[in-house]
A and B are shown apart, each in its own frame.
Chain A
Amino acid sequence: MIAHRLSICGMWLGVALALGVAAHAADPADPADAVSQVIAVPRHNQWTLVDPEQRPILKKVVELPAAQRDQLLRSSDARLRGIGIFIAEQQGDLAGLLSLKDKLSDNASTVPYAVPVAQVGEYVIRPQTLADYLTTVYQEWFGVDVDKSQERFDNLLAPLSGQPQNFVQPWIVRLRRAASDEKAVAEIKKSIAALPEDVRWAVVTLGYGDSLYSKAEARALLGGLSRPIQERLRSGEELLPNEPLLQSTSFRAALMRVYGELAVAD
């Protein structure tokens, strides 16, 4: 525990110096000042792994405007670049996230992250390379493993980068993160209902599998798909061949199995 506290102090000091704010007291109400107090970011969007004292600071940091966030991403300080990635990830800025692919090759600099530990009341921090951290972020948002490789990014994610709203997984992430906010969930589901049909069926089916839609909701939405789309699905036609998740044959099979369970009789 002593070592943990020491490491916290060391990191705090490092970040504070980097921002040039050591000379005055930080104002936690100011997102820019809150940045100086961040000692670790959650790796799997798992906030409970972060020291409770850190959580309000991280929440404040996430409010940072895009311009300041982008300034962090361009910082010469690796920790600040890592915090910039965390903010972009928490803000769900898909275009912003997809523009960060060059950081997949940053294996030299590190960001402190909260290690997944099981014990009660303890928090462990370790360094993680920016490349690893961004790989985890992409996995969270797009459902596939780019493995710190820009080539894999280009193969898996680039084909849909121009239309990020047509990725399936981000809608699931948004629903999951908004779960406690009924109004927000309703807004997201409204947006999903307006998606192109070939995307909508996959989002709804996956959402049902993740218990984000009830069976009745999912059936109603799938039943509302046009007949041609339903027929194409039933015939096993591969809709969304560019969707990175659906490039996995076993994932596609699992999704189609759930779709089959939900399929509404004509």
Chain B
Amino acid sequence: MRRTLGLALAMVLLASAAAAHADGRDVLEELGPCMAGAGLPADPECLAAFDVDGDGDVDLHDFAALQAGVDPVGACCFDNYSCEILTEAACLAAGGGGEWLGAGSECGQCTLVRIRAITFGGTGSTTIKHDCAYPPCSSYGTQQWLDANHDGDVLDAGDHDYPVAYARNSHVTLSGVQFWVSPSGTASGVQVRGYGPDGLTFTGTGNLSGSTLNVSGTLVSEGTLPNTVKYYPSFDIVWEVAFDGVNFVDGGTSSTRLYVTRSTPLGDCLESYFHISTQAADGLADEQPVIDAIWAEFADREVYNVDGERLGYYRGVLCASYCTYYSAPELVYYTTSQCGGWADLLRQCFRTQGLNSSVFVTAEPLTSALPLDCGSYPSSAAGFLVKNYTFNGWGTSCTAYPFSFNDPCGYYAAWPSPTCTDATGLPGQDNPNPASWFARHFIVKINMAYYDPSYGAGPFTGTQEQANMQWELGAMAGYFGRAEASSSRAGVRKDIAQTRETYFDQ
């Protein structure tokens, strides 16, 4: 009896449901014969197909559940940017301009929101400058993230992604935060939140006018940047927006290069200085470890500017005069320089991390330790040769400077068969055999230790004379002067190990 009643009811319901939902007709038609009612044995195939609530039978509960599935729900978007998950009918009945987005749609689909612009700043921030050869170089703009066409990236014409820098342990302060919103409209008190790396969060409110949502005032991060040097190749902030203050929808992601420095940067603040020093010292905070890590970057003789171009020492030239780049800006811009540029670059990397006591050191021949040459107006050595050189028998009559030598610039008159000739090495930055005939050389001193970045050599420690001696042992091949009074041909004398024949001016 109960089965007969159940079947009859099922057929009535089936008829009405099928009429309303043609696409659900097949399912409901199949369900009818399976409805055995509570307590009655059911066909195993029916159970497998229709026991929706899993209670061991196929009954009206299962029918209702299936019927709801046939009348699906989806996102109902209202004019005031709120949303509810409703059936289509309920959505239409709800008023408020509700637009039903279809079965299975979600509220996140109601409104398209994309982060469009951000300006980084606040206490602890530093404006980074473009690399350029001759400072003052231009600063990157203050609107560091701009997705002008709001397509979710900053790769298109009119877009840009500028680097930013903060001293460690700073809050990140954002202003000018702006979103693009579709459909356009008007709303106030829109909740905005952003999730950055390492637990940094940003919250604020904004007003929508047309398709632009402007966040009011500044957003100061909850939480601070790490208390160490750190390089974020991509400081991603995942943004969310809630027009109703409750239901947050995706607002896109901004990605910015962010450098965290040990302390407030000094100097010209070119991006390559940040790039080299911050990557090298990532994770460090104390002064000496930061110095050591930056030096390690130079010591391996593999240094790259922010564009990934390797920096070289006298690349492609053996005559120093042919390289007319003398400073760190020229080095990072033109990717090659003399030793002065390398010493400057190491100093600028230290300065960028706020280290303020490095000095520029000049190394020259120690005239008091070297004999007079054989020129018509005898003087001490005019300069030195950096290793390596080969010496094959005396070629001059000047006993103080006995090896005949032709310099690579043609500054001195030439010998037909010089006995002192250049050989490969000492390797310099990205150069196995750089220029090596010099009047002087430039290095860096910090904390009473000496560093020769052109060759990645050092640190040289002890007293100044001890450090000078260590440097000289590793670098000096010999010293040159005039070999004859009657001509301007040059002679060379070999460096004497353990005798200091150069000096540092600092």
Residues of A within 8 A of B (CB): 44-46, 48, 107, 115-122, 124, 139-140, 143-145, 147, 156, 176, 206, 208-211, 245, 248-251, 253-255, 258
Q: Output the least CB separation between B357 and chain A (Å).
A: 5
On whether the beta carbons of B357 and A143 are closer than 8 Å, the reply is: yes
Chain A residues with CB below 8 A from B360, complex form: 44, 116
On whether the beta carbons of A250 and B287 are closer than 8 Å, the reply is: yes
Once the chains are docked, how many angstroms separate the CA of A208 from the CA of B438? Answer: 29
On whether the beta carbons of B409 and A117 are closer than 8 Å, the reply is: no
Chain B residues with CB below 8 A from A144, complex form: 356-357
Residue B179 is within 8 A (CB to CB) of chain A in the complex: no
Instruction: Select the residue from A45, A48, A117 with max chain B CB neighbours within 10 A.
Output: A117
Given A118-B438, A248-B355, also A254-B463 (CB < 8 A): no
Chain B residues with CB below 8 A from A176, complex form: 505-506
Residue B293 is within 8 A (CB to CB) of chain A in the complex: no
Interface majority SS on A: helix, strand, loop or mixed?
Answer: loop
On whether the beta carbons of A248 and B326 are closer than 8 Å, the reply is: no
Return 6 A-B CB contacts under 8 Å, by A number. A124-B324, A147-B356, A206-B448, A210-B506, A250-B355, A251-B357
Cβ contact of A118, chosen from B287, B320, B448, cutoff 8 A:
B320
Residues of B within 8 A of A (CB): 136, 266-267, 286-288, 291, 319-321, 324, 326-327, 338-340, 343, 351, 355-360, 362, 364, 382-383, 407, 409, 411, 435, 437-442, 446-449, 463-466, 505-506
Given A144-B356, A147-B266, also A115-B326 (CB < 8 A): yes
Cβ contact of A209, chosen from B364, B435, B448, cutoff 8 A:
B448
Given A116-B326, A120-B439, also A249-B362 (CB < 8 A): no
Chain A residues with CB below 8 A from B351, complex form: 145, 147
Cβ contact of B463, chosen from A46, A156, A211, A251, cutoff 8 A:
A211
Chain B residues with CB below 8 A from A139, complex form: 359
On whether the beta carbons of B267 and A147 are closer than 8 Å, the reply is: yes
Q: Output the least CB separation between A35 and chain B (Å).
A: 26
Total number of residue pairs linking A and B with CB closer than 8 Å:
115
On whether the beta carbons of A209 and B463 are closer than 8 Å, the reply is: yes
Given A119-B438, A211-B463, also A248-B339 (CB < 8 A): no
On whether the beta carbons of A249 and B356 are closer than 8 Å, the reply is: no
Chain B residues with CB below 8 A from A107, complex form: 136
Given A251-B357, A254-B447, also A120-B438 (CB < 8 A): yes
Q: List the 8 shortest-distance A-B pairs measured between CB atoms, nearest first.
A: A250-B287, A145-B356, A119-B320, A254-B447, A116-B340, A211-B464, A211-B465, A147-B266
On whether the beta carbons of A120 and B411 are closer than 8 Å, the reply is: yes
Chain B residues with CB below 8 A from A116, complex form: 326, 340, 343, 360, 362, 440, 442
Once the chains are docked, how many angstroms separate the CA of A249 from the CA of B262? Answer: 13
- Smallest CB-CB separation from B291: which chain A residue? A250
On whether the beta carbons of B356 and A209 are closer than 8 Å, the reply is: no
Once the chains are docked, how many angstroms separate the CA of A245 from the CA of B445? Answer: 14
Cβ contact of B286, chosen from A44, A120, A249, cutoff 8 A:
A249
On whether the beta carbons of B338 and A117 are closer than 8 Å, the reply is: yes
New A-B contacts (17) at CB < 8 Å, excluding given A119-B439, A147-B351, A209-B463: A117-B439, A118-B340, A118-B435, A118-B438, A118-B439, A119-B409, A124-B326, A145-B351, A145-B356, A147-B356, A211-B463, A211-B464, A211-B465, A250-B288, A253-B288, A254-B447, A255-B448
Chain A residues with CB below 8 A from B441, complex form: 118
Once the chains are docked, how many angstroms separate the CA of A124 from the CA of B330? Answer: 15
Chain B residues with CB below 8 A from A48, complex form: 362, 364, 439-440
Chain A residues with CB below 8 A from B355, complex form: 248, 250
Q: Output the least CB separation between B480 and chain A (Å).
A: 9
On whether the beta carbons of A117 and B340 are closer than 8 Å, the reply is: yes
Chain A residues with CB below 8 A from B439, complex form: 48, 117-121
Chain B residues with CB below 8 A from A156, complex form: 356
- Smallest CB-CB separation from B435: which chain A residue? A118
- Smallest CB-CB separation from B464: which chain A residue? A211
On whether the beta carbons of A210 and B463 are closer than 8 Å, the reply is: yes
Q: Output the least CB separation between A176 and chain B (Å).
A: 8
On whether the beta carbons of B411 and A258 are closer than 8 Å, the reply is: no
Once the chains are docked, how many angstroms separate the CA of A115 from the CA of B362? Answer: 12
Q: Output the least CB separation between A135 and chain B (Å).
A: 9
Once the chains are docked, how many angstroms separate the CA of A132 from the CA of B438? Answer: 27
On whether the beta carbons of A250 and B447 are closer than 8 Å, the reply is: yes
Once the chains are docked, how many angstroms separate the CA of A92 from the CA of B327? Answer: 27
Chain A residues with CB below 8 A from B267, complex form: 145, 147
Once the chains are docked, how many angstroms separate the CA of A133 from the CA of B280? Answer: 30
Once the chains are docked, how many angstroms separate the CA of A244 from the CA of B326? Answer: 29
